[in-house]
Amino acid sequence: MNMQRAAKKPLKPGHTLDVLLVELERECETVLKLLHQLDVVGLPVDQKEEILGELSAAITHLHEHTRGLDERVISDS
């Protein structure tokens, strides 16, 4: 048994691939929005830190959200 595979969390039960992909799209949009906010010239340091904190949380969520998604896409295709 592959230990990496055993350590993965299963996808949320009852979630169809379409729902998972919509959720993924929304989180990707959030990441893009935050990246664009970082492009603002003259952004105060505290605001930049806040955006970076939100970006870190969004990236972590993306990482968790996509765990096993590749296998789900293959199995549903």
- Angle 17-38/45-65 helices, nearest 10 degrees? 160
Q: pLDDT tens digits for 38-54?
A: 999 999 999 999 999 99
Is residue 35 domain-resident? Answer: yes
Q: Is the pLDDT of residue 11 over 80?
A: no
Is residue 1 domain-resident? Answer: no
Pick the residue with more confidence: 57 or 12?
Answer: 57
Is residue 69 domain-resident? Answer: yes
* pTM to 2 decimal places: 0.73
Pick the residue with more confidence: 2 or 41?
Answer: 41
Task: Map tokens 């990496």 to a residue.
Answer: 4
Q: pLDDT tens digits for 22-42?
A: 999 999 999 999 999 999 999
Q: Is the pLDDT of residue 5 over 70?
A: no
Is residue 70 domain-resident? Answer: yes
* pLDDT for position 2: 37
Is residue 2 domain-resident? Answer: no
Is residue 37 domain-resident? Answer: yes
Long-range contacts (CB closer than 8 Å, 24 or more residues apart) made by 54-58 = 55/31, 58/27, 58/30, 58/31, 58/34
Is residue 57 domain-resident? Answer: yes
CB half-sphere exposure, 51, CA atoms < 13 A: 17
Is residue 72 domain-resident? Answer: yes
Number of structural domains the chain divides into: 1
* Domain, as residue range, for 65: 14-76
